[in-house]
Structure 1
Amino acid sequence: MSSTIVPDVIIIGAMKAGTTSLYEYMAGHSQIGVSAEKEVDFFVSGKNWKRGIGWYHRQFSPGFSVYAEASPNYTKRELFPSVPERIAKIIPDCKFIYLVRDPIKRAESHYRHAVLSGSDVPSVAGLSGSPAMQHLLATSSYAAQLAPYLARFPPQNFLVLRFEDLVHEPRQLLSTVAAFLGVRDEWQQPGTIAANSSDTLARLPLWVFAARETRLASMLKRLLPRPAFTFLKTLISTGGKVRHAEPFTDSLRAEMATLLQEDQARFQEILKAVDATRNSSGQQPDTP
């Protein structure tokens, strides 16, 4: 199927590290066609893989130079295995952008997201040793999440970016993205980090989270322009009762840092290898 549209690049995560913001920046670029919904999850077997390549193709509109999607579930290998294998089968020359963040801050933001969206997670006092804690740690284990991708795709196909740079130096980061994708370095004026903030989540009624996987929600995302959908989300959250999530304790942060120490060391080695490959090919190095 030579006319089938599939992404040239996939933002594979990490969750709560700026994937929504980068997706929105890409959506505003004249040469980049993004999927109609941000989190397509096509390569997750329990979600949309069964819908087939034709369904995936229809998530993109024709007429662009480069196509992209963003699904943070692609780097939750303990929950959703074999994603890199499926991508390699369908898009053997795919490029990947992996956004990372201080792993403890990422885990705390992930936990806050779970609490505010009504997920069944333990209190902070009950997190240590729990399955929820293991999931938070696994998603912050950047080396472990990248390993199966690097086993199937060459290092030069990866761009690793920092959430902190997206927040504080978006223009410079976007220039790096443009060079990686081979598109013009012309972006809409960088604005506020996007719409999936804790403040918004804290005010959204819980029924919104229950409804977001329905066909109606999917249809609204496809039919409404992005600004209109964001406005609708903001409108629903206005005046809602504010929910709260406990902050992590210092002792929990220290425990998580210890448990992630080995993976962080491996991740730094991965970055060195990716940078060496990019330097040899004349591309800009990664910076985490």
Structure 2
Amino acid sequence: MTARPNFFIVGAPKCGTTAWAEYLRTHPQIGFARQKEPHYFNTDFPDFRWARSQADYLSFFEGCEGKTAIGEASVMYLYSSEAAANIARFDPGAKILIFLRDPVRFLPSYHNQLLLNLDEDIRDFGQAWALSGERAKALPSTCRDAKFLDYPAAARFAQQIQRYRAHFPDAQIKILRMEEWKPNPRAAYLDVLEFLGLPDDGRVDFPVIHKAKHHSSGAVAKLIQRPPGWALRVAAAVRRVLGLKRLGLSKLLRRMNTGTGYAKRDEENAELQDEIRAALAEDQALLQQIFKERSHG
């Protein structure tokens, strides 16, 4: 029988989702998609999906047969306006894991990731924030979706969570905030295992995963990640001549062109932080109301 996922880490990006996927995938009763972040269910982001058919999607779970919990982590499912409904149609009994972070910390990190992915080309976060909502008029040529660059919308977590609450009961949704789980990941891990109906496997090591990175050269990154037609043709010709399936050159170049840390770490800008808080105040108030409702549910 084909293995089917029954729990989903849906985001938000840069809130510990990659770390939690790594922590959970080693549990003996958990199976995880072999393809990192399939993004199958965010049909409103057509250029950010790595599986186009259900058959292709389910092929990512080959080898997971017999596992109690089978999952995947696709960080744009939370921001997507269609993923919650799509997942509910696929499995109305699915369990949903949502990871959040203070928007003031989330947004610069999210911006840095967009730079790394070549969806963003403005290196200064303050400038990118100020242009939110206007970018559709002049998108970077390598940006896969204008909505990625709408920074206030990306951080309206309460609005995004409500889409999942419309399709799943609260008992099937678990929300963890980075500021709360990071000081004691072991306790959070046990909490997540209980949510998934799994026993403790004794894990006590919770290393930092997926440190911030940046490109040393934007031009090299663009050549590797969005290669022009001529580069693809040259690579194909070289492979034919050498009789190779792949050269491995892009992977080597990517590693050489990637440094750790932020491309440009903004100074603590109290004025910008206050502006972000003001812009998201209504959504953050709704988020607090959601937590209150869930605690009394």
Q: What band does the TM-score fall into relative to the shorter chain?
A: 0.7 to 0.9
Residues 165 and 125 (structure 1 numbering): CA distance in 2 closer, same or farther, change over 3 Å?
A: closer
Deviation, 1:202, is 4.7
Work out the CA distance in 1 between the residues paired with 2:186 and 2:252: 26
Relative contact order (C-alpha < 8 Å, sep 6+): which is higher? Answer: 1
Match for residue 264 of structure 2?
Answer: 245
Q: Please list, as runs of the form range in 1=range in 2, the aligned pairs for 1:41-190 lying within 5 A after superposition.
A: 41-45=39-43, 46=46, 47-48=48-49, 51-60=52-61, 61=63, 62-77=65-80, 81-122=81-122, 123-127=124-128, 128-131=130-133, 135-190=150-205
- The superposition leaves residues 49-108 of structure 1 with CA deviations (integer Å, 9 ceiling, x where unpaired) of 87322222211121311111111110123xxx3111111111111110100111110011
State the Cα RMSD in Å.
2.9
Match for residue 280 of structure 2?
Answer: 260
Unaligned runs of 5+ in 2: 136-147, 233-249
Deviation, 1:201, is 3.8
Work out the CA distance in 2 between the residues paired with 1:9 and 1:125: 36
Identical aligned residues as a percent: 26
Work out the CA distance in 2 between the residues paired with 1:236 and 1:166: 32
Q: Is the 8 A contact 2:7 2:95 kept in 1?
A: yes
Moved more, 133-142 or 256-265: 133-142
Residues 68 and 197 (structure 1 numbering): CA distance in 2 closer, same or farther, change over 3 Å?
A: same
Q: Is the 8 A contact 1:28 1:187 kept in 2?
A: no
TM-score norm. by structure 2 comes to 0.75
Q: Is the 8 A contact 1:37 1:59 kept in 2?
A: yes
- The number of residue pairs the alignment matches comes to 251
Work out the CA distance in 2 between the residues paired with 1:253 and 1:245: 17
Work out the CA distance in 2 between the residues paired with 1:182 and 1:171: 16
For the pair shown, which has the larger CA radius of gyration, 1 or 2?
A: 2
Which of 23, 27, 30 pairs up with 1:29? 27
- The superposition leaves residues 164-183 of structure 1 with CA deviations (integer Å, 9 ceiling, x where unpaired) of 34432110110000100011
Work out the CA distance in 2 between the residues paired with 1:64 and 1:31: 5
Q: Is the 8 A contact 1:6 1:91 kept in 2?
A: no
TM-score norm. by structure 1 comes to 0.77
Q: Please list, as runs of the form range in 1=range in 2, the aligned pairs for 1:210-221 lying within 5 A after superposition.
A: 210=226
Q: Does 1:14 align with 2:29?
A: no
Match for residue 294 of structure 2?
Answer: 274
Q: Is the 8 A contact 1:75 1:146 kept in 2?
A: yes
Work out the CA distance in 1 between the residues paired with 2:258 and 2:13: 25
Deviation, 1:136, is 2.0
Q: Is the 8 A contact 2:10 2:97 kept in 1?
A: yes
Unaligned runs of 5+ in 1: 215-231, 278-288
Where is the helix percentage greater, Structure 1 or Structure 2?
A: 1
Letter in 2 for 1:11: I
Q: Is the 8 A contact 1:203 1:239 kept in 2?
A: yes
Letter in 2 for 1:67: I
Work out the CA distance in 2 between the residues paired with 1:170 and 1:116: 27
Residues 121 and 31 (structure 1 numbering): CA distance in 2 closer, same or farther, change over 3 Å?
A: same
Match for residue 221 of structure 1?
Answer: none
Q: Is the 8 A contact 2:111 2:125 kept in 1?
A: no
Moved more, 48-57 or 90-99: 48-57
Work out the CA distance in 2 between the residues paired with 1:21 and 1:167: 11
Work out the CA distance in 1 between the residues paired with 2:10 and 2:184: 21
Work out the CA distance in 2 between the residues paired with 1:159 and 1:208: 37
Secondary structure of the corresponding residue to residue 42 of structure 1 = coil
